Structure 1
Amino acid sequence: MQRDVSIGARLDRLPLSGFHWRLLGLIAAGMYFDSFDIYIAGTVLAAMVHSGESTLGQNATFVSVTFIGMMTGAWLSGVLGDRFGRRFCYQFNLGIYGFASIAAALAPSIYWLIFFRLVMGIGMGAEIVVGYGTLSEFIPANWRGRFGTILNLIINTSLFLSTFLGWLIVPQYGWRWMFAIAGCGALFVWFLRKSMPESPRWLASRGRADEARQIVERIEAACGSHADRTASATASLTREFHESDSNDTGRLGDLFSRRLLTRTITAITVLVALFTVNYAFVSWIPTFLVKQGHSVSNSLGITALMFAGGPVGSLIAFVLAERVGRKWGIVLFSLVCAGFGFAYPFAQSAVAITALGFAITAGIYVLSSFSVATYVPELFPTELRLRGSGLANTVGRAVSIVVPYAVASAFMRFGISGVLTLIVGALLIQALIVGVFGAETKHRSLESIAADATGAQALEGSARAAAE
């Protein structure tokens, strides 16, 4: 059968409207509480050690199970989201996360808290895969990159809110309220999200074209737009986005097939590089500054100024997402960050250290907006979008478990230069692989991007047949 390719074309022709902004708000709200809960860990664990409810070893276990849960969630969300739908998956994982957070607030001991954190981690790891993937399937091609960067910016502001509320609440009312806030917020968003429609692109990929068309018609009505259903209006779009289909709706093994292997490698590379650079620099910079002779107070002050580059980076990504494009944006800012990283060990004054740290942080957030928020979900066809994103996130999370040990070893042997070599190396490898193998996705429909891989494979097969 032929996939109803007009579904994607009609979604891409829609004018930007309140529907798209409401969708962004609902997805962002769920992902915001997800990120909020990740960032409250430091405040909660410090308070528990201070009160004698936990030890450093138990805190380490808490952090470890968080990563294990997120790895598991990223993997499961890919499988479940492509099989049962985006709507099922984002409601299921948000419900798991919300109830587990409430249970964590009532945990009778650190051991129960660690268990509930594992369950919460599954929901948190799933949300980042489903959220970005779902958003990409609704937003018109000319705005898809910018919406991804806006979502990334909103999510990252949770660092400030979680830190501020931790300072305000934990000393007075205890750590349990932090989990209660996250859990109640997640469940409230779960209720609001019940009004979100299923992805028409996913429905069409599963052969449920009538349901997909009905949803698209409702979206068109909400946007004040009406589809031109004449054959002449859709013929050119059908030719442009034509993609053959079979009864197979996509298998995990297809990610390693000839047509998608380079995209799978590209997606894994950008997330491994992002998590490596983020955890190697952002998470360790206060420790580096202290080791370099700065006082704790001074190092925290410098770090705060450096991290102000985060929102700036997200805004830069918003401006450039639909101008430079995601592929060349990743290549460009990988090289820019590598240049700043190379210069960082030579900085002597506090002003120079702060300025370079600010620039590196901004560059990291540009890469985050381009890669995890936009580029990775765009690389895969609809029937494999969440599995591809889930696999890349799973590998990235697995590497992030190892990164702290690599950073500590590099710092002890070679100092800050060793750590920066690790970071620069990851950035240069990313620039090379994305530059050589990456597909450009700017201003292109998801169907057109997917058809590139299929078309390349078809041309290859035709050439072989002709040779024979």
Structure 2
Amino acid sequence: MQMEAGIGARLDRLPLSGFHWRLLGLIAAGMYFDSFDIYIAGTVLAAMIHSGESTLGLNATFVSVTFIGMMTGAWLSGLLGDRFGRRFCYQFNLGIYGFASIAAALAPSIYWLIFFRLVMGVGMGAEIVVGYGTLSEFIPADWRGRFGTILNLIINTSLFLSTFLGWLIVPQYGWRWMFAIAGCGALFVWFLRKSMPESPRWLASRGRNDEATAIVERIETACGGAAPRTQPSAPETSTREFYANDTGRLGDLFSRRLLTRTITAITVLVALFTVNYAFVSWIPTFLVKQGHSVSNSLGLTAVMFAGGPIGSLIAFLLAERVGRKWGIVLFSLICAAFGVAYPFAQSAVAITALGFAITSCIYVLSSFSVATYVPELFPTELRLRGSGLANTVGRAVSIGVPYAVAASFTRFGIAGVLTLIVGTLLIQALIVGVLGAETKQRSLESIAADADADTAGAQAIERGATAAVK
């Protein structure tokens, strides 16, 4: 659709301004409290065990329903966001999450808390899909990758805040205040987000051209006026998004046009969640099993996890230089190399240094994949459904990862777990390297049009082969 390509081109030509930073701040704030709530679970559950309000079995149920809720939220956000709009979806899911958090703070028993956690999980799973997808549709192509890494960095700092507040608040005032903080923060952000505009790209894809144009004009005014054209209009109108005349269907994700994109998106998120939960979540256990004291293992883990922000900063520097496709391939191979070396480390210094390096690589991959690459792969009509599907599959696989890690460690020790991690990274590098599309400094319309062109080329080859046979 020419109108949609024109809207996208106008957004991409805009200079970076306060509008883009405010948008980043509003999206990051909602996702920050989302992530904050995920990380407070450990502190809350430990406190409830200590007070006798819960048991290990009930704690396990609490964690399980969190994943179930997040899977459900990721799936629903894709359907709702593509059908009713980004603005509706990010307000709807943040409202669900905020009110459920307040209810959790008032829960009369662990059973009610588990129920409210399921509801909270729906909002938490939706936020990661809508947040990254919405951001990608506003930020100019030259900065889209870097903004994704900034958002990823901001979100990941919630681990420190949740741990610090848990240490400060829970012993003195109890676990309920942790949910109250998260819920009140989310509802405050919900109020601030009312000023966020709908995505002009989504409006144009639905044929609501007057609304899309009006929003773009307001954004141009906020950025200091419309940016001058840097290229002729012909290429702009030729890079249309496919499915422009309808709303897109879920089955289109598995059509010839988008199948490789869908496979690529699922691969990178399954790999990310597998590697993250297999290494980051299990490192303290590995260290204890290797003979370190609990205190020493926690200290070494803290140093290793300092690699997280470093990884996000590396991704920021390389997002628009190396690009997302080849960045994922490169750091998958680098991380695999560190993983191969890790079982041979003997000293605490070597173990910590390799753990730091692996953690850094994982967060580079997180910044490139879930924060930027996956939303870029799909056309506007299917962007959130594609991202939602990939996140849903990734979350589903992550449920089985702890069992795979435990079995690998029991039979083969740390080498078995690292073999699982290295194998996952190598498969990711292969699939992304062969099937992945490069998205660096390209408009979303151009990336989408490439899939259309690839399909047309494949169909032409098939017709030629059929004619030759005849």
Distance 1:244 1:436 in 2: 23
**8 Å contact kept, 2:33–2:185:** yes
**8 Å contact kept, 1:255–1:261:** yes
The residue aligned with 2:61 is 61
* 1:82 and 2:90 matched: no
Task: Output the amino acid matched with 1:57.
Answer: G
The residue aligned with 2:203 is 203
Distance 2:3 2:345 in 1: 57
Distance 1:4 1:442 in 2: 20
TM-score, length basis structure 1: 0.98
**8 Å contact kept, 1:150–1:314:** yes
Distance 1:2 1:441 in 2: 21
The residue aligned with 2:321 is 323
The residue aligned with 1:235 is 234
Distance 2:462 2:407 in 1: 50
The residue aligned with 2:8 is 8
Equivalence map 1:347-358=2 (5 Å): 347-358=345-356
Q: Deviations over 1:160-186 (max 9, x none)?
A: 000000000000000000000000000
Task: Output the amino acid matched with 2:404.
Answer: A
Deviation at 1:3, TM superposition (A): 4.6
Could you say what secondary structure the match of 1:443 adopts? coil
* 1:389 and 2:387 matched: yes
Could you say what secondary structure the match of 2:4 adopts? coil
Distance 2:244 2:298 in 1: 57
The residue aligned with 1:153 is 153
**8 Å contact kept, 2:13–2:228:** no
Deviation at 1:456, TM superposition (A): 1.3
Deviation at 1:246, TM superposition (A): 4.9
The residue aligned with 2:99 is 99
Deviation at 1:457, TM superposition (A): 1.4
Equivalence map 1:385-464=2 (5 Å): 385-464=383-462
Equivalence map 1:264-413=2 (5 Å): 264-413=262-411
**8 Å contact kept, 2:243–2:381:** no
**8 Å contact kept, 1:273–1:427:** yes
The residue aligned with 1:217 is 217
The residue aligned with 2:192 is 192
Deviation at 1:229, TM superposition (A): 9.1
Q: Deviations over 1:83-132 (max 9, x none)?
A: 00000000000000000000000000000000000000000000000000
Distance 2:49 2:109 in 1: 13
Give percent identity, aligned residues only.
88
**8 Å contact kept, 2:4–2:240:** no
Deviation at 1:243, TM superposition (A): 4.1
Distance 1:427 1:465 in 2: 37
Task: Output the amino acid matched with 2:188.
Answer: F
**8 Å contact kept, 1:3–1:243:** no
Unpaired stretches in structure 2, ≥5 consecutive residues: none
Deviation at 1:210, TM superposition (A): 1.1
C-alpha spacing 1:2/1:315, structure 2 compared with 1 (3 Å): closer
Q: Deviations over 1:114-167 (max 9, x none)?
A: 000000000000000000000000000000000000000000000000000000
Could you say what secondary structure the match of 1:324 adopts? coil
Count of aligned positions = 466
C-alpha spacing 1:245/1:260, structure 2 compared with 1 (3 Å): closer
Could you say what secondary structure the match of 2:15 adopts? coil
Q: Deviations over 1:403-460 (max 9, x none)?
A: 0000000000000000000000000000000000000000100000000001111223
After the TM superposition, which of the residue ranges 248-257 and 458-467 deviates more from structure 2?
A: 458-467
Distance 1:243 1:159 in 2: 38
Q: Deviations over 1:63-91 (max 9, x none)?
A: 00000000000000000000000000000
Distance 1:306 1:134 in 2: 32
Distance 1:69 1:219 in 2: 35
Q: Deviations over 1:231-287 (max 9, x none)?
A: x95334223x23454532110000000010011000000000000000000000000
**8 Å contact kept, 2:14–2:227:** no
Deviation at 1:398, TM superposition (A): 0.3
After the TM superposition, which of the residue ranges 452-461 and 210-219 deviates more from structure 2?
A: 452-461
Could you say what secondary structure the match of 1:247 adopts? coil
Equivalence map 1:124-163=2 (5 Å): 124-163=124-163
Distance 2:242 2:271 in 1: 34
C-alpha spacing 1:244/1:293, structure 2 compared with 1 (3 Å): closer
Deviation at 1:345, TM superposition (A): 0.2
Distance 2:80 2:49 in 1: 38
Unpaired stretches in structure 1, ≥5 consecutive residues: none
